[in-house]
Amino acid sequence: MFGFLYKKAKALFSKKGTDSKQEDFSQKQTPVSRTLADNIKTIREEMLLSCDVISREITIGKERSTRAAIIFIDGMADKKIINDNVLKPLMNISGFPISPGSTDRKTGIIKVIEQSVLAISNIAEVQNINEAISELLTGNTVLFVDGDDTALAISAKGFEKRSVDEPPSEAVIRGPRECFIEDIKTNTSLIRRKIKNQELRVETMTIGQRTRTVVSIAYISGVANAGLVETVKNRLKAISTDSILESGYIEQFIEDSPASIFSTIGYTEKPDVAAAKILEGRVAILVDGTPFVLTAPMLFAEYFQSAEDYYFRPYYATLLRIVRIIAAMTTILAPAIYVSVTTFHQELLPTGLLITMASAREGIPFPAFVECLIMIVTFEILREAGIRLPRTVGQALSIVGALVIGESAVAAGLIGAPMVIFVAITAVSSFVVPNLIEPIAVLRFIVLILGSMFGGYGITIAMLGALVHMASLNSFGFPYLSPTAPFDPGDSKDAIVRAPLWMMIKRPKSVGAADKKRRDKVVPPPTGENDGGEDENA
């Protein structure tokens, strides 16, 4: 027994030692050699002789006295930029300049090229091979010159990217119709177009040992809480993984309650939504390779808010929020209420309705719970199939499948007509709050099971349990149910009720903004008959 444990411990420690050696090797810094051939060979060996790593050797100037080489990854660099702004200036320069105060013609050549030859806006000096490889993997081009131990990383990225288009998951009737794309530089520029302020800060880091994904955080210095910004940074730096492929990876690593069915980090595809949250004092997290931007902290009330709520008049926006809340409660409770009423609480139904429902269920071989479970699972299958298939085929499948299956099931006597109606209401209501689909799907099954076991008491227990759970959640230290619990009258102007914009003089306390004021006082819009016109007595 002890021998077995000793072998396991020995294997574990030897594995740790191997990992540490590999980590030391990966962190080893190989300096740039003064010999051009050595640099090209080292790069190719480190890149495992990949065929898409292109190296082009040239001689600088018309005198052809200095050898150099550019290295880039095919498909990630713009060849036109390389040809016009790098190769032509280097090969056609006449009388290659010598750096001031240099006695050797090759001393300081890289500095002269950087300052006087290349027509590129973004150039950085590279001191070791590891940095050069990192620059290559991001799409930059690296220039080596024979006789110089410094290389240049030249910004000549040219990989394909999607154009800024209308967001597919956050359609709006009124408001901007642009969305984020998979390129992080474009996404940060979209935010800067909305917030033209010098205090908007964008800080970048790299996460993932193998993917080396670029992650940026955006916030307004002086508006965002300094503690919140520091917390976000620390959680991002603490991520230890080999790959980050989408912002959902980041969300699962840094959220407060990973075991909860409710997300405590928001996400959006729309630059105006991200900008609005940043202006409230939140922090946005942008991940290269995904159009979804995370925002923190997030409150539960945000599920029922939409970007166009602030573009419509406040009365209609408030009505829409109430409709969304009713739809969310309907899609969660409708199946459970139907099962509990038909099983335990028939006395709650009017006599005529009870007789109608009883006659509709006559001959149904399954109890109400099994009947409802079959229909909900069928709906989830149809919804998932409609999403995964091509758009035209998916829409046809969803509509035809629902009609055919529902009608056939009723005609065959497997499902009652009232159940089809309740499941249809449940399905339509779930699409009103698309961001809540994940927790709603789980809650619906939990409430349905407890309702089928204990009737109305089970439904009450399930909803109270969900409410207590949400009240215990925090998002980066801020209560998840704010401003309802704890209640804050000031923040309630933008919870369920959407007050007029001119009444919102303070930023939400619920997100802990450092700068509390949006404006100094309430300034209502002008209402006088002659406002902006000529004086009658003039």
Eight-class DSSP state of 157: B
Residue 434: count of CB within 10 angstroms of its CB: 13
Give the span between the Cα atoms of 443 and 470, in whole angstroms. Answer: 13
* Digit-coded pLDDT (tens) for 326-338: 999 999 999 999 9
368, two tokens:
């109400």
Give the span between the Cα atoms of 14 and 8, in whole angstroms. Answer: 10
138, two tokens:
């991001």
Could you tell me which residues are beta bridge partners of residue 313?
none
3-state SS assignment for residue 335: helix
Give the span between the Cα atoms of 467 and 183, in whole angstroms. Answer: 39
* Digit-coded pLDDT (tens) for 364-396: 888 889 888 888 888 888 888 777 777 666 666
Give the span between the Cα atoms of 397 and 211, in whole angstroms. Answer: 37
pLDDT at 207 over 60: yes
Three-class HEC string of 481-501: CCCCCCCCCCHHHECCCECCH
Cβ density class 112-134: b for 16+ within 10 Å, e for less: bbbeebbebeeeeebebbbbbbb
Handedness of CA 164, 166, 172, 177 (dihedral sign): positive
The whole-model pTM stands at 0.82
User: What percent of the chain is predicted at pLDDT more than 70?
Assistant: 87
432, two tokens:
């009103």
Residue whose tokens read 């499902």: 415
Nearest Cα residue to 73 out of 48, 94, 90, 96: 48
Nearest Cα residue to 104 out of 68, 65, 58, 69: 65
- Average the pLDDT over each of 15-29, 226-240, 312-326, 411-425 and give the range with the smallest value: 15-29
* Digit-coded pLDDT (tens) for 106-117: 457 888 888 888
Percent helix, strand and coil across the chain, each to the nearest 5: 50, 15, 40
Helix (H) or strand (E) holding 475: strand 474-475
* Digit-coded pLDDT (tens) for 259-283: 899 999 999 999 999 999 999 999 9
177, two tokens:
């119709």
Let me know the angle formed at the C-alpha of 168 by 166 and 174, rounded to the nearest 5 degrees: 55
359, two tokens:
């006659």
Instruction: Give the model's pLDDT for residue 1.
Output: 43
Give the span between the Cα atoms of 329 and 308, in whole angstroms. Answer: 22
CA dihedral 443, 445, 451, 453 (to 10 degrees): -130
pLDDT band at 95 (very low <50, low <70, confident <90, very high): low
511, two tokens:
């997100």
